[in-house]
């Protein structure tokens, strides 16, 4: 049965006294009990209500974003290539924030749906490997330029949970790359960003995913649960600092519209990553 759109905020209610002109941010989730996690908390802390909808379970999507200050599409266990009507609805819907120049953020599956909307490809690793756990990312020159404007450097290791990767169709700029799955962050248009990784995860979410999804830890390339928890203590502070700086600028709009033409021409050039002797390894 279809449900009405939700503005539930039990764990994310913003403080009072914040500017009334701020509008809700649309949160698109894919499981009955999934959470916007740290992304939701940081956006709510800036005075935005969270308009939580789950199209998979019948929630409608708006026909205009005049009443929203942005859109976030989160991850999920399904594939962007699944033949489901609700998935195609979400892929088509992404055209709305792109057309209206509203801030858009796609996380993991959300980033893959952005690429599908733009005519790109989402596919498994050629050797059947997965990225599940903490893995390094490397900013491109475009990513470094964005980080300089944010005042927050990219984290060196980020939390991953996926078996498929995305490419960079025409009209996108690669912001960060990875070792197993080359494209880790992209921008499109003025205000759309897709991240293959999961900066939204909380401590509780890591425990929940490694428990309920324990069978996936046996996939080639996946890390054992102990490395997930170890990696969180080692790397999450840097992820949190970056995410806070990113979301503050992202909510203002036009986050990627000012990347220089020179930077875009060298968008796939990546600095050699520094060796981290304490790095988590699978």
- Which residues are the active-site residues? 108, 198, 200
Which residues on neighbouring strands pair with residue 190, listed in sequence order?
Answer: none
């Amino acid at each position: 049965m279809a449900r009405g759109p939700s503005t539930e905020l039990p764990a994310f209610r913003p403080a009072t006294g914040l500017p009334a002109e701020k509008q809700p941010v649309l949160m698109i989730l894919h499981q009955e009990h999934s959470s916007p996690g740290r992304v939701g908390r940081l956006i709510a802390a800036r005075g935005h209500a969270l308009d939580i909808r789950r199209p998979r379970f019948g929630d409608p999507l708006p026909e205009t974003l005049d009443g929203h200050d942005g859109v976030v599409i989160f991850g999920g266990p399904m594939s962007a290539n699944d033949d489901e009507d609700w998935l195609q609805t979400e892929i088509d819907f992404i055209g709305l924030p792109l057309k209206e120049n509203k801030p858009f953020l796609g996380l993991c599956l959300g980033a893959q749906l952005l690429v599908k909307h733009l005519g790109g490809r989402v596919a498994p690793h050629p050797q059947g490997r997965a990225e599940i756990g903490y893995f390094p990312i490397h900013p491109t020159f475009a990513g470094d330029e964005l980080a300089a404007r944010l005042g927050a450097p990219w984290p060196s290791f980020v939390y991953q949970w996926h078996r498929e990767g995305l490419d960079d169709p025409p009209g996108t700029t690669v912001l960060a790359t990875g070792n197993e799955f080359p494209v880790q962050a992209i921008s499109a248009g003025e205000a759309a960003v897709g991240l293959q990784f999961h900066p939204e995860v909380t401590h509780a979410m890591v425990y929940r995913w490694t428990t309920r999804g324990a069978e996936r830890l046996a996939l080639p390339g996946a890390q054992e649960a102990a490395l997930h928890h170890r990696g969180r203590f080692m790397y999450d502070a840097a992820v949190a600092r970056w995410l806070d700086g990113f979301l503050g600028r992202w909510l203002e709009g036009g986050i990627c519209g000012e990347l220089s033409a020179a930077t875009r021409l060298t968008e796939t050039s990546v600095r050699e990553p520094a060796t981290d002797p304490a790095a988590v390894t699978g």
